[in-house]
């Protein structure tokens, strides 16, 4: 790989390392919020979970859904607890007790050191709710909704900057599903009133729920036709699985993520040209992850429970490699993908798992996510990679080496993230750092395990965890390392 200081993809928007918490399963109740848990503070926030989240340095968290938001009335979740209703939650067919809502989430986010990305309901609600919620959250005082917030104990506005206009509105599973035109119109009108209330906010319009949708990418074009002038971002969602146990293909799925990003970018630029616009649309990949392990178990869950164990994927070593490749794919497109959310954060397809009343621990995917979020700040550099490749039945030309470097000028460091997709052999890596001159290896972290199906559990929470015995060495401005088979690597270099 050749890395040059002058070949910059972009200064990475830290929101690329965002995550997501939905009122779904045990993400909120039993996850981040569990009054009575031994580690809970006086507000019911689990401190053991908070301390794991702080390690991830999550810059922004999307909330409260997801599919949940399309049937949610945010007013049910504010004000005195004793007045809050329990509701049938139709997206996931549970009971939503509304013990936790906007104000609790804002408080919790401060404790977690993260910002809020709020998704509004454009399924069963619309323009009126859009203006009310921004007024409640962001207007200082002297109006009905802002004074209501103050009466709930929150004098200072929440100043929520980033808002999603609904969720996956193209999906037949969505409460209040819409055609692209129906959605485009309501999203544009909602955006208008939201920005009349607070012109400083940034908005995300819904792209397709995935590349698999028959309406993709026509959906994007139509939605943008209506919303282009009103929003800053278009969303992408994608989940990857290995139900056929074809690990080589699974490891190549990040190439599909890149294709998806390229084609959504092209669609945005087509509408830009059509509108003779000077504005460039950015992308918010606000749901991405591996998701498939829990599919069968979820079918057996009885409806109308409070916080049942839904979507509790237990992640393996190979899932961590895929997440590492997906993170590198996002970095490679960080000029257009400015925000992204690992979906989700706790218990629900998540890097952090908890037991109700018990422990909290890091799943395998926690580690690549943490490494990228902590060390991947600065400028993403163009990765000029020459690597042997392999083909599978579904995907061709998959390079064994997936890699990118990030230059952090402030820290005077370059960090190389690299996955060796070869399941049988180690891969010799040589990096030519050229214009950077000399450097020294601060550490070479490696995540690997002989058993690609190994997992972390409450009883064995560190079975899959990184070590710092990687063998990267420097010779002048050349870095060499042997990347062990099926491994995630972080080579941190301090520049002279
Ligand atoms: O993250 C789980 C679900 O996946 C979200 O609720 C929905 O937006 C997507 O289909």
Q: Do domains 13-377 and 389-495 have the same CATH topology?
A: no
256 is catalytic: no
Yes or no: say if 294 and 313 are a contact pair by the CB < 8 Å rule: yes
Q: How far is CA 26 from CA 87, 238, 353, in A?
A: 16, 22, 9
User: Which ligand 1 atom sits nearest the alpha carbon of residue 66?
Assistant: 6
pLDDT at 382: 97
The domain spans of the chain are 13-377, 389-495
Give me Rg for the CA atoms of the chain. Answer: 22
Instruction: Considering the domain delimited by 389-495, tell me its CATH architecture.
Output: Sandwich (2.60)
pLDDT at 476: 87
Yes or no: say if 122 and 166 are a contact pair by the CB < 8 Å rule: yes
DSSP 270: H
pLDDT for 433-480, tens place per residue? 988 988 999 999 999 999 999 999 999 999 999 999 999 999 988 999
Q: Which residue lies with its CA nearest to atom 1 of ligand 1?
A: 343
Q: Is the CB of 66 under 6 A from ligand 1?
A: yes
Instruction: Give the pair of three-digit tokens for residue 123.
Output: 């399924």
Alpha carbon 486 to its chain's center: 23
User: Which ligand 1 atom sits nearest the alpha carbon of residue 311?
Assistant: 2
Q: For residue 338, give the nearest of 414, 285, 274 by alpha carbon.
A: 285
Of the residues 287, 318, 413, 448, which is catalytic?
Answer: 287
Q: Which residue lies with its CA nearest to atom 9 of ligand 1?
A: 66
**Hunting for tokens 């609790």 — which residue is that?**
104
Q: Which residues pair with 379 in a beta bridge?
A: 11, 407
Q: Which residue lies with its CA nearest to atom 4 of ligand 1?
A: 66
pLDDT at 477: 87
Q: Is the CB of 167 under 6 A from ligand 1?
A: yes
Q: For residue 137, give the nearest of 106, 96, 100, 98 by alpha carbon.
A: 106
Distance 209 CA to ligand 1 centre (A): 9
Distance 401 CA to ligand 1 centre (A): 30
Q: How far is CA 163 from CA 14, 153, 470, in A?
A: 17, 23, 41
Q: For residue 319, give the nearest of 253, 418, 401 by alpha carbon.
A: 253
168 is catalytic: yes
Question: Can you give the pTM of this predicted structure?
Answer: 0.98
Q: Which residues in the chain show pLDDT less than 50? A: none
Q: Which residues touch 214 (CB under 8 Å, ≥6 apart)?
A: none
Yes or no: say if 170 and 220 are a contact pair by the CB < 8 Å rule: no
Q: Is the CB of 168 under 6 A from ligand 1?
A: yes
Q: Which CATH class is domain 13-377?
A: alpha beta
pLDDT at 426: 98
DSSP 138: H
The DSSP element (H or E) to which 419 belongs, if any, is strand 413-420
Q: Which residue lies with its CA nearest to atom 8 of ligand 1?
A: 66
């Amino acid at each position: 790989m050749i890395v040059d200081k002058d070949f910059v993809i972009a200064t990475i928007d830290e929101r690329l390392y965002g995550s997501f918490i939905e009122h779904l399963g045990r993400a909120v109740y039993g996850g981040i919020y569990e009054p009575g848990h031994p580690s809970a503070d006086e507000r019911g926030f689990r401190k053991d979970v908070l301390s794991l989240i702080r390690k991830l340095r999550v810059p922004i968290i999307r909330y409260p859904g997801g599919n949940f938001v399309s049937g949610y009335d945010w007013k049910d979740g504010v004000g005195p607890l004793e007045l809050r209703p329990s509701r049938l939650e139709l997206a996931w067919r549970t009971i939503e007790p509304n013990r936790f809502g906007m104000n609790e989430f804002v408080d919790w986010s401060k404790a977690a050191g993260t910002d809020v990305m709020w998704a509004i309901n454009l399924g069963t609600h619309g323009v009126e709710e859009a203006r009310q919620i921004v007024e409640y959250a962001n207007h200082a005082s002297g109006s009905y909704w802002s004074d209501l917030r103050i009466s709930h104990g929150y004098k200072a506005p929440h100043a929520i900057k980033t808002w999603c206009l609904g969720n996956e509105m193209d999906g037949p599973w969505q409460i209040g599903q819409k055609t692209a035109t129906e959605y485009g119109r309501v999203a544009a009108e909602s955006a208008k009133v939201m920005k009349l209330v607070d012109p400083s906010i940034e908005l995300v319009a819904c792209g397709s729920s995935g590349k698999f949708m028959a309406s993709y990418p026509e959906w994007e074009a139509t939605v943008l036709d209506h919303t282009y002038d009103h929003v800053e971002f278009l969303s992408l969602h994608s989940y990857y699985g290995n139900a056929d146990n074809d690990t080589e293909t699974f490891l190549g799925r990040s190439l599909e993520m890149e294709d998806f990003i390229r084609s959504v970018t092209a669609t945005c630029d087509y509408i830009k040209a059509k509108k003779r616009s000077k504005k460039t649309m950015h992308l918010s990949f606000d749901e991405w992850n591996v998701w498939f392990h829990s599919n069968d178990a979820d079918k057996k869950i009885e409806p109308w429970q409070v916080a049942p164990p839904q979507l509790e994927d237990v992640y393996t070593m190979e899932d961590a490699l895929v997440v590492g490749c997906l993170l590198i794919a996002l970095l490679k497109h960080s000029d257009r993908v400015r925000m992204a959310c690992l979906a989700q954060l706790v218990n629900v397809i998540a890097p952090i798992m908890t037991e109700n009343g018990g422990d909290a621990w890091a799943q395998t995917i926690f580690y690549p996510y943490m490494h990228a979020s902590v060390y991947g700040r600065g400028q993403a550099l163009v990765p000029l990679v020459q690597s042997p490749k392999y083909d599978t039945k579904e995907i061709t030309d998959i390079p064994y080496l997936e890699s990118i470097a990030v230059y952090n000028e402030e820290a005077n460091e370059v960090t190389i993230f690299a996955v060796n997709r070869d399941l049988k052999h180690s891969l010799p890596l040589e990096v030519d750092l050229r214009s950077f001159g000399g450097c020294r290896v601060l550490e070479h972290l490696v995540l690997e395990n002989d058993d690609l199906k190994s997992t972390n559990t409450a009883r064995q929470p560190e079975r899959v965890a990184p070590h710092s015995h990687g063998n990267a060495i420097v010779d002048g401005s050349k870095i060499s390392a042997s990347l062990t088979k099926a491994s995630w690597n972080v080579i941190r270099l301090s520049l002279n």
